[in-house]
Amino acid sequence: MTTAELVDCSLEPLTSVLTPEVAQRLVDSQPAPEVTARMEELGRKANEGTISAEEEQEYKTLIDYGDMIALLKLKAKRFLRNGM
Query: Which of the four pLDDT bands, split at 50, 70 and 90, describes residue 84?
Result: low
Segment 34-48 mean pLDDT: 97
- The parent domain of residue 54 ranges over 1-8+31-84
CA angle 36, 6, 40 (to 5 degrees): 15
Within-domain flag for 25: no
- Residue 1: is it exposed, middle or buried by C-beta count within 10 angstroms (0-12/13-18/19+)? exposed
Within-domain flag for 77: yes
Within-domain flag for 71: yes
Within-domain flag for 79: yes
Within-domain flag for 57: yes
Within-domain flag for 16: no
Whether the pTM exceeds 0.85: the reply is: no
Within-domain flag for 13: no
Q: Are 76 and 23 in contact (CB under 8 A)?
A: yes
CA 53 to chain centre: 22
The domain total for the chain is: 1
